[in-house]
């Protein structure tokens, strides 16, 4: 009986074992990410691609069919009747966004300085200030419609009692956006306050002790220590607030419906009106794409600037 020689394989070296182990771990990590990637492809990226497709059609919800019309909708937006409405809506959206960013950052920081105390009273009051963030916008909007009512609103009754002239908060194009911003301020300041308090508590006390030795007063410690070391949290609040405020819809829909005279016709509400009131899905798709590109560019620019100006020493 003839015995064949067994093939002798060289033993794996330590380096090859390490490489194989890392390769297996990388594959495991990738397989854990695959469900999330599939979800994003189906529910995020595919709708965006389909939105581009719709923008080149004449899709009207009243009709059952549509055809491709090339750049006709883009010409309507930039060279036709849609440009003036788009520009006016963009201005209203930017005004609202800038106001909300200022309210969120400045108001939240001031409240954080006020409530950053460890006592039973402040521990009780902080959740009360923070709670409006988790009340439904639709519910809050209905309450604020009652508060800001021209004739029977609580705010105007208070103004009358002080001898001041009541204002048509939600029915005048000069004050409608301010009325919506009152609801916004009530909802967002408590949230940013809690973020700032968390960031303040993470700053090392060594900085303040060194400042005390140098004779710095409270304002200088705030200006030269607290404020710079809060910059990472500030940029986080800035970016998230910018994106959220540019996409504002619910409060406008409930309180003003885009009026009066388009004074609160923000971009997302206009897109909604084009699609579900005028039934022009094709035009809504074009406006959505341009709006998406604006948000993408502004967010990228903000993050680029923050890389050079944000202090992460804390």
Residue 103 lies in a domain: yes
Q: Is 63 exposed, middle or buried (0-12, 13-18, 19+ CB in 10 A)?
A: exposed
Residue closest to 263 by CA, chosen among 171, 147, 159, 155: 171
207 with 229: CB under 8 angstroms? yes
Q: Is 127 exposed, middle or buried (0-12, 13-18, 19+ CB in 10 A)?
A: exposed
**What is the number of residues in the chain?**
314
Q: Is 6's pLDDT higher than 60?
A: no
Q: Is 112's pLDDT higher than 80?
A: yes
Q: Is 38 helix (H, G, I), strand (E, B) or coil?
A: helix
Model pLDDT, residue 90: 95
202 with 116: CB under 8 angstroms? no
Residue 22 lies in a domain: no
Q: Which of 4-8, 100-104, 224-228: highest mean pLDDT?
A: 100-104
Model pLDDT, residue 3: 52
Q: Is 1's pLDDT higher than 60?
A: no
Maximum pairwise Cα distance, the chain: 118
What six digits make up the tokens of 100?
């909300």
| Domains of the chain: total | 1
Whether the upstream peptide bond of residue 252 has omega within 30° of 0, thus cis, is no
Domain that holds residue 134: 72-309
What letter would DSSP give residue 313?
A: -
Q: Find the mean pLDDT for residues 67-83.
A: 93
Residue 282 lies in a domain: yes
User: What's the pLDDT tens digit per position in 117-126?
Assistant: 878 888 888 8
Q: DSSP string spanning 153-206?
A: -HHHHHHHHTTPPP--TTTSTTTHHHHHHHHHHHHHHHHHHHHHHHHHHTS-HH
267-282: burial string, b at 16+ Cβ within 10 Å, e else: bbbbbbbbbeeeebbb
User: What's the pLDDT tens digit per position in 286-313?
Assistant: 999 999 999 999 888 887 877 766 655 5
Residue 301 lies in a domain: yes
Q: Find the mean pLDDT for residues 114-134.
A: 87
Q: Is 261 exposed, middle or buried (0-12, 13-18, 19+ CB in 10 A)?
A: exposed
What letter would DSSP give residue 106?
A: I
Model pLDDT, residue 8: 46
Q: Find the mean pLDDT for residues 127-143.
A: 92
Dist CA 259 CA 252 (whole Å): 9
Dist CA 309 CA 83 (whole Å): 36
Residue with the larger pLDDT of the pair 9 and 19: 19
Model pLDDT, residue 308: 66
Strand partners, 280: 60
Domain CATH number, residue 86 = 1.10.3720.10
Q: Is 252's pLDDT higher than 90?
A: yes
What six digits make up the tokens of 12?
């794996």
Q: Is 30 helix (H, G, I), strand (E, B) or coil?
A: helix
Model pLDDT, residue 277: 92
180-191: burial string, b at 16+ Cβ within 10 Å, e else: bbbbbbbbbbbb
What six digits make up the tokens of 138?
């639709």
Residue 314 lies in a domain: no
CA dihedral 302, 303, 305, 311 (to 10 degrees): 120
Nearest-5° Cα angle at 246, 243 to 250 = 110
């Amino acid at each position: 009986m003839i015995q064949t020689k067994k093939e002798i394989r060289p033993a794996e070296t330590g380096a090859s074992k390490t490489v194989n182990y890392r390769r297996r771990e990388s594959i495991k990590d990738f397989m854990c990410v695959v469900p999330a990637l599939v979800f994003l492809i189906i529910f995020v990226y595919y709708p965006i691609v389909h939105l581009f497709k719709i923008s080149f059609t004449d899709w009207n919800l009243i009709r059952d069919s549509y055809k491709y019309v090339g750049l006709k909708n883009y010409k309507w937006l930039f060279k036709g009747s849609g440009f003036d409405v788009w520009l006016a809506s963009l201005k209203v959206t930017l005004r609202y966004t800038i106001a909300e960013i200022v309210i969120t950052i400045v108001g939240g920081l001031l409240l954080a300085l006020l409530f950053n105390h460890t006592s039973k009273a402040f521990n009780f009051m902080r959740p009360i200030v923070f709670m409006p963030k988790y009340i439904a916008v639709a519910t809050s909007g209905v309450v604020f419609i009652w508060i800001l009512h021209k004739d029977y609103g609580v705010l105007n009754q208070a103004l009358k009692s002080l001898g001041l002239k009541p204002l048509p908060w939600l029915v005048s194009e000069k004050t409608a956006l301010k009325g919506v911003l009152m609801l916004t301020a009530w909802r967002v300041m408590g949230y940013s306050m809690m973020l700032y308090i968390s960031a303040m508590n993470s700053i090392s006390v060594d900085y303040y002790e060194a400042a005390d030795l140098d004779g710095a007063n409270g304002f200088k410690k705030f200006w030269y220590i607290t404020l710079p070391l809060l910059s990472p949290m500030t940029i986080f609040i800035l970016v998230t607030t910018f994106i959220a405020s540019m996409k504002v819809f619910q409060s406008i829909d409930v309180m003003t419906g885009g009026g009066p005279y388009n004074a609160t016709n923000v971009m997302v509400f206009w897109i909604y009106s084009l699609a579900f009131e005028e039934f022009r899905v094709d035009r809504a798709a074009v406006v959505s794409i341009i709006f998406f590109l604006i948000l993408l560019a502004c967010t990228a620019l903000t993050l680029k600037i923050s890389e050079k100006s944000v202090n992460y020493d804390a």
